[in-house]
Structure 1
Amino acid sequence: MSAVLRAESLSRVFPSPTGDVVAVREAELTVEAGELVVVAGRSGAGKSTLLTMLGGLDRPTGGRVLIDGTDLADPTTDLSALLGSRVASIFQNAGLIPVLSAAENVEVPLRIRRVDPDERDRRVVEALTDVGLEDAARQRPGELSGGQQQRVGIARALVMAPGILLADEPTGQLDSETGAQIMNLIARLVHERGTAAVVATHDPAMLERADRVFDLHDGVLRLRQG
């Protein structure tokens, strides 16, 4: 099976007054459809930097990222169209719009892509059902628990049926029980839908859901054996 997401010799260096800081050093990574990859490492290890490069939000200093074989740095690539249709991200903070209901928050990317209203409604209901929040569709973020808000964020990420899901510390602000529910949900959706997912975390309890685990230390990415 060919990789839908690939990083080749990926590096990111940040200049500073005291010298260059290497956040990621020549990382090699391939992720296939239906595979859940976890990148483990302490806070500040470079996990967020790696994910922003994989998602096309930051340009690497060296190396390249390919999605479905397309180089994100290729000047002929329609980056907005490729990323908008293929990649979705989940962050520690769900980033919901307070004045909108759960359903309206999930609907935002569909409106941006000008999806037909009937199709929008169907997909929003489906996405909220997938995360177990179909009964909370009309509630605003302030009326939801932290775990529920994160599930709305996941529904919003999945409503566009992305082929690639990137999650940066998605359980970092949740209690252990709610965090486990979120990771189980991500793992189930990835394996059922054939999505390629990369989840960055420093929570050791999250590793057992992964198909493969990589450790990121001092900018070096290594596959964990055993």
Structure 2
Amino acid sequence: MSAVLQAESLSRVFPSPGGDVTAVREADLSIAAGELVVVAGRSGAGKTTLLTMLGGLDRPTSGRVLVDGVDLADPGTDVAALRGARIASIFQTSGLIPVLSAAENVEVPLRIRRTDAAERDRRVAEALRDVGLDDHARQRPGELSGGQQQRVGIARALVMAPGILLADEPTAQLDSETGAQIMDLIANLVHHRGTAAIVATHDPAMIARADRVLDLHDGVLRRRVG
């Protein structure tokens, strides 16, 4: 299968008063449609940095990222448009807009893509139902618990039915039952809808569902054997 997302010799170095810190070192990665890849590693190992580079939110110090063969660093690449069309991200914090309701937050990416109003309503309702929040559609983030806010953020990503999903510790703030639901949703997107997903996590249950597990240690990415 051809890769939809590739990283080639990807490195990210951050300057600091005590000397340069290498968060990711010469990482190579290739993922195809319909594949679930987990990046495992302790806190501070570089998982978030890797995902932000793969999603075009941060530029690597060296190396490159290709989405459908398109180099994100090419001057002619409209990274924002490519992200909007192909990539959805789930972060450790929900990043919700406080003045909007749960449904309106989920609806934002569909409005950006100018999706038909009836289709928007259908997909938003489905996404909120999938994360168990269909009864909270009209509530604003301040009226929701931290776990509920995280689920709204997840629904906002899933509503796009993305070709590529990048998830940074998506179950970290959730109880075990809700976390299992979210893992099922991600696995369904991957294996039934052909999404390519990279999930940074230390959750053993998520790791067990992966097609491949990569370990990130001191910025070095290696495939787990066995």
TM-score range, shorter chain: over 0.9
Q: Deviations over 1:64-86 (max 9, x none)?
A: 00000100001111211111110
The alpha carbon displacement at 1:141 in A equals: 3.0
Which residue number corresponds to residue 141 of structure 1? 141
Paired position in structure 1 for 2:119 = 119
Cα contact 2:131–2:155 (8 A) shared by 1 = yes
Query: Does the CA contact (< 8 Å) of 2:150 and 2:173 recur in 1?
Result: no
1:143 Cα offset (Å): 4.1
Q: How far apart, in 1, do the equivalents of 2:149 and 2:112 lie?
A: 21
The offset of 1:150, in angstroms, is 2.4
Give the C-alpha shift of residue 186 in structure 1. Answer: 1.6
Provide the rounded CA distance (Å) in 1 between the counterparts of 2:146 and 2:210.
Answer: 23
Conserved? CA contact 1:26–1:220, under 8 Å: yes
**Residues 1:67 and 2:70 are matched in the alignment:** no
Give the aligned partner of residue 215 of structure 1.
215
Cα separation, 2, equivalents of 1:199 and 1:4:
16
Provide the aligned length of Structure 1 versus Structure 2: 226
What is aligned with 1:175? 175
Amino acid at match of 1:66: L
Which residue identity does 1:65 align to in structure 2? V
2:133 and 2:16 map into 1 onto residues whose CA distance is 45
Q: Partner residue of 1:187?
A: 187
Q: Partner residue of 1:10?
A: 10
Provide TM-score, normalisation by structure 2: 0.92
CA contact (8 A) 2:147 2:173 kept: no
**Contact 1:102–1:140 (CA under 8 A) maintained in structure 2:** yes
Which letter does structure 1 place at the counterpart of 2:14?
F
| CA distance in 2: counterparts of 1:141 and 1:192, whole angstroms | 31
Cα displacement string for residues 132-171 of structure 1 (whole angstroms, at most 9, x for unaligned residues): 4334322333444444332221221122221000011112
TM-score, L = length of structure 1: 0.92
What's the CA shift for 1:97? 2.5
Distance across 2 between alignment mates of 1:185 and 1:150: 14
Partner of 1:86: 86
Closer/same/farther in 2, CA of residues 184 and 116 from structure 1, 3 Å limit:
closer
Distance 1:135 1:189 in 2: 23
Which residues in structure 2 correspond to 1:48-67 (within 5 Å)? Answer: 48-67=48-67
Call closer, same or farther: CA 1:131–1:189 in 2, change over 3 Å: farther
For 1:109, give the aligned amino acid: P
Query: Unmatched 5+ residue regions in structure 1?
Result: none
Q: Deviations over 1:161-190 (max 9, x none)?
A: 210000111122233343333223222222
Is 1:35 aligned with 2:38? no
CA distance in 2, matches of 1:161, 1:113: 13
- Whether contact under 8 Å (2:36, 2:211) holds in the other structure is yes
The letter of the residue matching 1:89 is S
1:159 and 2:128 correspond? no
Q: Distance in 2 between matches of 1:133 and 1:17?
A: 46
Cα RMSD, aligned residues only = 1.7
1:130 alignment partner AA? D
Single out whichever of 18-27 and 135-144 deviates more from structure 2: 135-144
User: Aligned runs of 1:93-108 on 2, under 5 Å?
Assistant: 93-108=93-108
Q: Is the 8 A contact 2:10 2:64 kept in 1?
A: yes
Secondary structure at the aligned position of 1:114 is classed as: coil
